[in-house]
Each structure stands twice: as C-alpha cells, then as structure tokens.
Amino acid sequence: MIKPELKDFLQSEEIKIIKGNVAAAYAAKSARVQVISAYPITPQTTVVEKLSEFVDGGLMPGTQYIKVESEHSVLASLVGSSMAGTRTFTATSGQGLFYMYEMVHWTAGVRLPIVMAIASRGPAPPWNIWADFTDVISCRDTGWMSAFTATHQEIYDEILMSYKVCEDYDVLLPKFVAYGGFILSHTSKPVILEDQDKVDNFLPPLPDEKGWPHIWIDPKRPLMHGNLIMPSGFYSEFRMKIHDALIRSKSKIKAVAKEFEKTFGRSYGNGLIQEYRMDGADVAMLNYGDLALQMEEAIDAVREEGYKVGMVKLRHFRPFPVEDIIEVAKKVKVLGVMDRATAFGSPTGGPVSSEVKTALHGTKGTALIFPMINGIGGREVTVEQQKEQLKILIKINETGELPEDLLHGTLWHGKLEVD
C-alpha cells in the first residue's frame, strides 16, 4: 500500500463514492477523534481497516489506535481514554456489542461521550451477519442514545451530530449510530465529506486540556470514581440524572439537527423523526434504517394510485420521541410500525412497536397501531413488498378488519412458504 501524503489530512470538501463503513471512518476522522479502539467483526470490519489506513498513514496526527484482543477491551480501553479527557470512537456489530455489554452500562454510568458506529447484524445462533437492529436495540436500557441512519451520507452526518449532542454539558452520554449491515456498510454511494474548517466550527475539537467537566485524570486534582455506594447514598439520584439527561437530550438533538442543516444544508427532519409525504395522509408506516429510504419509493407508488399514505422515519430509538409519535398518531387513522428487530416476549414481539404503544397509552384520539416485523437477519424486503405492506394498512383502514395470519397480534411480513 502506498502511504498517503501527510498534507492530505486536512480534508477539503469533496464528494467520494464510498461504502457506509468508510463513511463512518471518514466521520471519525472529520471529528478529529483522538483515541480509537476496535476489534474486527463482520460487517463492521472495513470501518476499522479504513481507520488503520488513516492512522498508520499519518492522516490523523496524534490519534492513537488501540488494537485490542476483544470487544470487552474495546470499550474498557475507551472508557479509560475518555475518562482521561479525549474524544474517542469505535465501531462494532451484533456479537461484538453483546460481548461489550458490561462496559456498555459502565460507559453511561461514567457519563462518557463515546460514539460507537454499529453495522447492525442479526444475533446468533444460527450465525447471521446481515441487517437486523436487534443488536443495538438490546442496549435499550443502558443509558446510551441510539440513532438509526438510512443513507451513506446520514452515517457521516449523524456521527458528527452525535459528538455534538454527547459532549453537550447538559447531556454527557454515549451514543450508538446504527445502520444496516451490508445494505449500507458494504454498498457504495456518493458521500459529501465536509471541509475540515467547517467541521471544526460546527464541532470544536473537545475536550480542552482539563478534560470533561465531571471527570478527569490529573494528579494535581486527584479524583476517584466508582467507589462502592450504599443504598442510602446517592445511587438512586445518579440514576435519575441519567434518565433525566437522556430525556433532555431530545431538545439537544433537535437543536443540533437544525444547526447542522444551517451549516451543511442537509435536513434530517427534526432530528428525532423525519416525515415523508405525511400531508393529508390517513394511513402511515413508521420505519427505521435503510428500509425507511426504500419505503419512500413505495409511498410514491401507492400515492400515485390515489391513496393517502405517508411514512415516518424514526431517527432515534433512545431518546424515544414520545411527543412526536403522539402527534403523528393523532394525524392518521392507522399507523403501521415496522420493526427490523425482535423483542421476544414483549407485548408485540417488535421493540419499536411495543415502544410506540407505550408512548400512546392514555392518549385519546390516536391511530390504530398495527405492529409488523420484516427483514429479520437481512431477509430481503423489496419495494413491491413494501407497497403490499402499505396496502395492508389501507385495507385495515377501509374495513376495520385485521389480517388473519398474525403471530400474537403482530404481522411477520415476507415469511417463506413451508410445504
């Protein structure tokens, strides 16, 4: 491999046709992360490969890349680096995230603004390496924020926005930026890589020498962290603060999305959700991840046929946009909630549909919520199938009758025929 020229490290605005994983790596570079720690796992691998190229090629001067022996150590080392006052980054998928789980809780407990890209894949067994958001969603209650992205550009953009939200002194929490394994991680699309000065203005290279406001490592100001605390101590209050910060992050996410749009000219709805052709819609589908992008095509086609359908793209699972979902559910008569993830034994079997039902509980005059699941373990979902899904919602709206073939109230769409 030819070593890139050192001067290249200052990125100027450029459109590159790159894989989703490479977009994530470029985002980390644009964000001037100081410490990277990673362990390879399909379909995340090309993120860590690209970053090795950047760091070893001298394109990220000063940045340390720790090549650890496991994912537990990935997050453990970043906890160390972040506590010591640096901006940090990693990426993983499915099993890797599960292996980190102890440290996932730890990170939020220390309130560290670590950003982690997730090229989502289905949990094993059987082995599966394709798009399925069960991995990131199974960290629901850890105190991490989690974003779903639908395009290559959005991966790059969301990582930049995420640092800004995470490092806000009113938030100080870690965040996942998820995208479908292979579908986005391994396909190539044009991505605008932003001018470094412009990025630096939007996202100043924090923290300063003193580190984060609540934790630092400095012999002149010796600090301990994590001592045993009795039930009568502030444990409960610390936990309340995490929940409070996570809920309050909603307004930060919205503000940052607005500022991002102003700076770079790309809009992501209000940051939490993004509506597509919801004007006058009486039936809508809630999607997340790459299938939301493809759903736009299905919506266009079904609208063409004269039906008033729309789509809501869920951009954040944590914090959950309760208020926005209530507004959406007031506008339409039927709201399909399409999961590409499983939550076994939950009220619907789908994590987001369960969440939507909870959000609407006790709210009067809202849509009928119809839970659906598709694309599990990377199962292909075509535009035709998505049109079919919309037709199911239209039929429910017209007849008031639910389809027959439900599994405990939820439609698993796109099943194989078994003879």
Partner 1 sequence: MASLKKVMEDEIACKEWFLPGNACCAGCGLEVALRWTMKALGPDIAMVTPASCLNVVIGLWPKTAPDFPQFNMAFAAGAAVATGFEAAFKAKAHKFPGKGWDKMISICFAGDGGTTDIGIQGLSGAAERNSNIIYVCYDNEAYMNTGIQRSSSTPHGAITTTTPFGKERYKKNLPAIMRAHDIPYVATCSISEPLDIYEKFKKAKSINGTKYIHILAPCAPGWGFPSEDTIEIARMAVKAGSWILYEVENGVLTLSKKSKPLLDPSKRIPIIEYVSTQKRFAGISEKTLIEIQEQIDNDWEKLSTELKCQDEYSK
The Cα 349–Cα 254 span in angstroms is: 29
Closest CB to partner 1 among residues 73, 187 = 73
Closest CB to partner 1 among residues 11, 86 = 86
Backbone angles phi, psi at 272, to 5 degrees: -90, -45
Closest CB to partner 1 among residues 57, 80 = 80
For residues 155-168, one letter each, b for 16 or more C-beta atoms within 10 angstroms of the residue's C-beta and e for the rest, the string is bbbbbbbbbbbbbb
Query: 217-236 mask for partner 1 (x: CB under 8 A)?
Result: xxx--xxxxxxxxx--xx--
Contact 159, 27 (CB under 8 A): yes
Closest CB to partner 1 among residues 127, 234 = 234
Residues 91-130 binding partner 1 (CB under 8 A) are 102-103, 106
Sign of CA dihedral 159, 163, 165, 166: positive
Closest CB to partner 1 among residues 227, 399 = 227
Beta carbon of residue 144, minimum distance to partner 1 (angstroms, whole number): 16
Beta carbon of residue 26, minimum distance to partner 1 (angstroms, whole number): 19
Q: Of the listed pieces 58-66, 251-259, 283-291, 393-401, which binds partner 1 according to CB under 8 A?
A: 58-66
The Cα 361–Cα 355 span in angstroms is: 10
Backbone angles phi, psi at 395, to 5 degrees: -65, -40
Residues 67-96 binding partner 1 (CB under 8 A) are 67-70, 72-74, 76-86
Beta carbon of residue 175, minimum distance to partner 1 (angstroms, whole number): 18
- Residue 118 forms beta bridges with which residues? 92, 178
Beta carbon of residue 206, minimum distance to partner 1 (angstroms, whole number): 11
Cα 255-259-264 angle, rounded to 5 deg:
150
Closest CB to partner 1 among residues 126, 226 = 226
Our finding on whether 62 is near partner 1 (CB under 8 A) is yes
Residues 15-34 binding partner 1 (CB under 8 A) are 34
Interface size with partner 1, residues (CB under 8 A): 44
DSSP state of 268: B
Which residue in 199, 104, 91 sits closest to 144, CA to CA?
104
User: Exposed, middle or buried, 272 (CB in 10 Å: 0-12/13-18/19+)?
Assistant: buried
Query: In the complex, which residues of this chain contact partner 1 (CB under 8 A)?
Result: 34-35, 37, 61-64, 66-70, 72-74, 76-86, 102-103, 106, 209, 217-219, 222-230, 233-234
